[in-house]
Amino acid sequence: MKKALIVGAGKGGTALLKIFQKAATIEVVAVIDRDPRALGIALAAAMNIPTGSDWRPFLTDAIDIVVEATGEKGVFEEIRQKRHKNTVVIPGEVAYIIAELVEEKETLITTLKSETARRDLIFNSTHDGMIVVDEFAYITHMNDSAASMIEVDKQEAIGKHILQIIPTSGLPRVLKTRQMELHQELALENGRKIITTRIPMTDEAGRLLGALAVFKDVTEVMQLAEELTNLKEIRMMLEAIIHSSEEAISVVDEYGNGILINPAYTRITGLSEEEVIGKPATADIAEGESMHMQVLKTRKPVRGVRMKVGPKNRDVIVNVAPIIVDGTLKGSVGIIHDVSEIQRLTNELNRARQIIRTLEAKYSFADIIGTSEEMMVAIEQAKLAAKTPATILLRGESGTGKELFAHAIHNASDRKYNKFIRVNCAAISESLLESELFGYEEGAFSGAKRGGKRGLFEEANNGSIFLDEIGELSANTQAKLLRVLQEREIVRVGGTKPIPINVRVIAATNVHLEKAIAAGTFREDLYYRLNRMPIHIPPLRARKQDIPALCQHLIHKLNQDYGRNVEGVTEEALDYLSSYDWPGNVRELENVLGRAMIFMKFNETWIDIHHIPPLQILPDRKDEVIMSEDLRPLDEMLEQYEAQIIEAALRACHGNKTATAKRLNISIRNLYYKLEKYGLAKTYMQ
């Protein structure tokens, strides 16, 4: 290691002291200056380097370098004379130049550090991401915003190829083409979307130095744009819905000024948008108070308010509801119904219902509930008969669903698009039935319409006619019906001209026709015409396995009729229902379920055994023979039977008298009276 002696601790000596201290191969032995306050003396003392005012004691043979920094020529010459021959003496001018250069270097370093710090501050303070790559696409600079957007560690990313960090980056392409790319959209691997500008960097000579990418995160902006687009689409859709509605709609803001109406509103009130939009809600009122203002004041909806609106004083019914968003009242919306329009629609609906009831078949085979073997046989026979033009005779007890089968047969036939006429032969008096079925000519009888009237067979031409209770027809009507079936023609009452018809006859009866023939009340030849395709519909007691499905179907229907929400029947109740023989068949089952639902509480959703009225089977006269010795006065026998019914009802209700009275549809007071009368009070005391 070289040993150095510095003579002169001024500006030049101090600069050389700093340089020598940083050099690993030079050791400063001492710093000499006549002024003990010199800058170099203080710095040397801080560095534990010996100091002094005379250089001579320190100039030994061990000194390799002497720096004469006093600037005095005599001192330089004296040192040269007394130095060892291997000692190098550096004159003061050189020391001064070195000091200037060192100072300039430090100034430049300070300036460069300041510029670098300023550049880094700007580089990292911007919200835009910035990445710089060299001419080989390796990252040299990356700011904090870029690292945050890409979600990488900046220090680890610098020095790596850009495609390792952003596989879809276009910077390699920019380095190749040297073309700037402005505002390019790019999707990052983390799902962010950015808009980037890529710029090639060249020097004055055109030599490629690298490329710069500046980009913005537009993920939130694009999401907001999409939401805004969706909001616009929703608003346009809502306006389109409101404008396409046949209901008259008006909307006002929270101050009661009109903001939206639809064409139906203009049609009913006679007011245009110019007369309503931006005007108070009272602008359309001809008679009455503004319901919009009332709703805005109370924040509660109003319904069914009668008033008159518009210049033509149209009589309307108004429903108005508040528009509340996040608890804040934003306005109200009103729907106006033209009373005259409602009346017209009501009349049309009633007329349509009448047509449906009289001319159309409402049910299909899908509406026939049953999976028992007996029922499936009947359904298959009916489906087969529906495909033919043959006359069909539906036989079965009352309430088994004969009319349901008739509807289904018509709907499954090729006549389903034509009329379906239903006639209950037992419900029309004998004097009127013939004229209703076959029509009459003008003047056929007093009160006959001018021009005569078409009969139901003519109305059903090319369709089907359902003759229910066919066994109740009179002999004269039976003869005319036989002519229809044989000749396919009818003759009106009071007329002579036959009218050809093409009608399929579906007849139904619960009468034993064979016995009626034997008794002479039903024509044998008509029987053979009707009985060409007989279908026997089994009674409910013969297909009890269908009771659960029938209950579910009937409950659904009764829910709609009664406005209830009953879900079904409990297992105990089903067992109870299945133990009954149902002489009234499905019609009786529907009656029992309907009565049970009426007496159910509104919070009850399952029909249980205590909801079902007592099912007491009356003695069948066919199976029970009353011996003459068993006969007693009628009043006595009725009282005995009444006592049995009351006792059975009490057992079913577990002795609850209130429930028993409700099931029997009598007052509790009347029940107590009968309990005392029949000696049941002690047995069923609570």
The string of pLDDT tens digits covering residues 548-573 is 999 999 998 898 888 888 899 999 99
Structure tokens at 247: 């209901």
pLDDT tens digits for range 74-93: 888 888 888 888 888 887 66
Closest CA to 407 of 359, 444, 455: 359
- Span between the terminal Cα atoms of the chain, in Å: 125
- CA–CA separation, 139 and 157 (whole Å): 7
Lowest-pLDDT choice from 140-154, 231-245, 407-421, 614-628:
614-628
* DSSP label at residue 55: S
Kindly report, residue by residue over 380-416, the tens digit of the pLDDT.
999 999 998 899 999 988 888 899 999 999 999 988 8
Does 357 score more than 60 pLDDT? no
Phi, psi of 322 (to 5 degrees): -75, 150
Average pLDDT over residues 214-243: 73
d(CA 277, CA 64): 103
Q: Which of 115, 95, 83, 85 is nearest to 6 (CA)?
A: 95
- Give the separation between CA 381 and CA 87, rounded to whole angstroms: 137
Q: Count Cβ atoms below 10 Å from residue 431 Cβ, excluding itself.
A: 9
Instruction: Report how far residue 270's alpha carbon sits from residue 311's, in angstroms, rounded to the nearest whole number.
Output: 7
Average pLDDT, the chain: 83
pLDDT of amino acid 561: 84
Nearest to 63, CA basis, from 92, 89, 45: 89
pLDDT range class, residue 239, cuts 50, 70, 90: confident
pLDDT in tens, 464-474: 999 998 888 88
Locate tokens 């001809």: which residue? Answer: 286
- Tell me phi and psi for residue 305, to 5 degrees: -90, 125
Q: Would you state the pLDDT for residue 72?
A: 80
Chain segment 318-332, per-residue pLDDT in tens: 899 999 888 889 899
Run of H or E including 20: helix 11-22
Burial of 434: CB neighbours in 10 Å, binned 0-12, 13-18, 19+: buried
The position carrying tokens 């089907």 is 464
Inform me whether the pLDDT recorded for 625 exceeds 50. no
Q: What is the pLDDT of residue 603?
A: 84
Q: Output the pLDDT for position 225.
A: 65
Percent of residues in the chain assigned helix, strand, coil, to nearest 5: 45, 20, 35
Cβ contact 639:611 at 8 Å: no
pLDDT at 321: 93
- For residue 530, what are its two tokens? 């009707």
Q: Which phi and psi (to 5°) does residue 654 adopt?
A: 60, 35
Select from 357, 363, 368, 364 the least CA-distant residue to 400.
368
Contact 254, 296 (CB under 8 A): yes
Q: Which residue has the higher pLDDT, 189 or 506?
A: 506
pLDDT digits 0-9 by tens, 51-78: 888 888 888 888 888 888 887 878 888 8
Per-residue pLDDT, averaged over 514-531, amounts to 88
Residue-wise pLDDT for 417-442, tens only, equals 888 888 888 888 777 788 888 888 87
Average pLDDT over residues 534-561: 90
Q: What confidence tens digit (pLDDT) does each residue in 202-220 have?
A: 888 888 999 999 988 887 6
Contact 442, 451 (CB under 8 A): yes
Confidence of residue 10 (pLDDT cuts 50, 70, 90): confident
390 compared with 631, residue with greater pLDDT: 390
pLDDT at 125 (0 to 100): 65
Q: Which helix (H) or strand (E) holds 486?
A: helix 475-487
Residue among 316, 313, 315 at smallest CA distance from 335: 316
pLDDT tens figures, 288-306: 888 999 999 999 999 888 8
Q: How confident is the model at residue 624 (pLDDT cuts 50, 70, 90)?
A: very low
Q: How much of the chain, in percent, has pLDDT values that exceed 90?
A: 19
pLDDT (0 to 100) of residue 653: 80
CA distance to 65, 267, 268, 281, per residue, from 309 (Å): 115, 12, 9, 11
pLDDT for residue 314 is more than 80: yes
